[in-house]
Structure 1
Amino acid sequence: MQTEEQLKELVKQKYSEIALQDKETNQSSCCGSGGCSTEVYNIMSDDYSELKGYNPDADLGLGCGLPTQFAKIKKGDTVIDLGSGAGNDAFIAREETGIDGRVIGIDFTPAMIERARINAEARGFNNVEFRQGDIERMPVSANIADVIVSNCVLNLVPNKDGVFKEIFRVLKPGGHFSISDIVLVGDLPEALRSAAEMYAGCVTGAIQKNEYLALIETNGFMNVTLQKVKPVIIPDDILINYLDETGIAAFKSGNTGIYSITVYAEKPAGTCCAPGCCN
């Protein structure tokens, strides 16, 4: 069993490699984790290209939804993008919040931060910044964000409860988040769950959908809403690396499902910090 720190280091190594790849390479791999499928496979099948603010150079094809499309960002908002990668969602959020707003991208991987900063500087985006940091301990003050977005990132973090506590701390009272992520329904076969490559590829780090939604509510959020749900299909030529033919047939015919969800929730107005900590 790998420790949380070992899993984080695995993710950092994988996504450092991904930062140097182009979108086409990432789209033909396990969520960017390396060339592992002859099929064109990418759990992010949503099309960003029609959204205002889209920059192809910042799109590495690593997401599993369109959280900025659902995030209800208003002009002048301060938006934080968790796991900002090369800047794709941050730049779309900038279009929504306008020149009077502010966007902060936070990413664990130095190579991603460097690539995002180059993309921002090349376009003269003065109200977008990227900070290296762990989203379990965000390098921002409390009660600063109107909106938080994230795209297929929390599933890579071992301590998801810690992330939701941080999201609650950082959001302003009355603020909200829209997060796209990977969740499970039923038990994933152990061979898939324990595979490091699949972990960095967004699937094995996922938890049960009901558990995921319960974490949000337990951490004090209200008006929890599923904005979008779609199934994730893993091609046979990926599954064969972890399961035999009998195992693949059982997995595909069973009740287990892998889903991309986009979930919305609000921090109650008048709340100063995390549940139970205010005097």
Structure 2
Amino acid sequence: MKDVKQDQIRSQVRENYAKVALKVNDESTCHAPGCCTPQDQKTLSVDDISKQMGYSAAELQSIPNGANMGLGCGNPQAIADLKEGDVVLDLGSGGGFDCFLAAPKVGSTGKVIGVDMTPEMITKSRNNASKSKFENVEFRLGEIEHLPVSDESTDVIMSNCVINLSPDKQSVFNEAYRVLKGGGRLAISDIVLTADLPDEVRNNIPLYSGCVTGASSIHELNQYLSIAGFTNISIEPKKESKAFIKDWAPEYKVEDFIVSAVIKAEK
């Protein structure tokens, strides 16, 4: 975005998602700033939103109350091919939703680490883990451009509609490469550009927090991943995601410019 500093973007995103963490209670509807329920459908439940994104009823029933806030644009742990003993890192873990779904798959010999830059989200996810006794899950406060994770310590990195929010995506993928073990892999759901955004959208700061303005093209993502060192890169747009993306900002018809995609790569 023109004339908008990276720290301003981070502050805007952090502020908006702090509000989400504080507003979304166990039985609430979703109030996220964009990648969530449309403004005119505040009664849509978070479970309904998540089913649109590919989560099953069984998955939604298996997590702590309040962990699912209806955020995201896909189901990354379903594409991650998780195995017993894996160490999994979730970038932008929010209330811990995908972490809690990954935890039983990696078992007691594995571990799931969630990283989020919003203190309110970390507090929420830690409370969720404690009350439901998830002993192989932990949550760390930090930015995904500067991960609080040691080198070559992770088998799988997943993320759900978060990397588009970063103003420095190259650093995100560089960090992901650093913390992955050799043979480690990415399993990411995120938003990609399918056409150039009009100026009224590109210069709209609230839409950055709404998972629209910060989206990259497939070509740009391929470049970021390649520069970081990743191989076997696969970016698969999901046209069916337009069915829920159209409600994010109906006045701008953002479904004409963005789509959810499955992003995979290996170290």
What TM-score, normalized to structure 1? 0.83
State the Cα deviation string for residues 153-199 of structure 1 (Å, max 9, x = none). Answer: 00000000000000000000011110111110121111011112111
Alignment match, 2:157:
148
Instruction: Tell whether 2:35 aligns with 1:31.
Output: yes
Instruction: Tell whether 2:190 aligns with 1:181.
Output: yes
User: Secondary structure of the equivalent of 2:4?
Assistant: coil
Aligned positions of 1:247-266 closer than 5 A: 256-266=256-266
Alignment match, 1:76:
85
Aligned positions of 1:190-269 closer than 5 A: 190-226=199-235, 229-230=238-239, 231-232=241-242, 234-235=245-246, 238-240=249-251, 256-267=256-267
Distance 1:226-1:2 versus aligned 2 partners, 3 A rule: closer
Alignment match, 1:274:
none
Distance 1:15-1:237 versus aligned 2 partners, 3 A rule: closer
5+ residue gaps in structure 1? 268-279
Partners of 2:182 and 2:248 lie apart in 1 by: 47
Instruction: Tell whether 2:8 aligns with 1:6.
Output: yes
Distance 1:185-1:235 versus aligned 2 partners, 3 A rule: closer
Distance 1:235-1:182 versus aligned 2 partners, 3 A rule: closer
Q: More helix per residue: 1 or 2?
A: 2
Would you say how many aligned residue pairs link Structure 1 and Structure 2?
253
C-alpha deviation, 1:208, in angstroms: 1.2
Aligned positions of 1:123-142 closer than 5 A: 123-142=132-151
Q: Contact 1:51 / 1:92 at 8 angstroms: preserved in 2? A: yes
Partners of 1:103 and 1:126 lie apart in 2 by: 10
What TM-score, normalized to structure 2? 0.87
Instruction: Tell whether 2:53 aligns with 1:46.
Output: yes
C-alpha deviation, 1:236, in angstroms: 7.7
Bigger CA radius of gyration: 1
C-alpha deviation, 1:132, in angstroms: 0.2
Q: Contact 1:38 / 1:237 at 8 angstroms: preserved in 2? A: no
State the Cα deviation string for residues 101-157 of structure 1 (Å, max 9, x = none). Answer: 111100000000000000000011111110000111100100000001000000000
Q: RMSD of the TM alignment (CA)? A: 2.4
5+ residue gaps in structure 2? none
- After TM superposition, the runs of 4+ consecutive aligned structure 1 residues lying more than 6 A away are 40-43
Q: Contact 1:198 / 1:204 at 8 angstroms: preserved in 2? A: yes
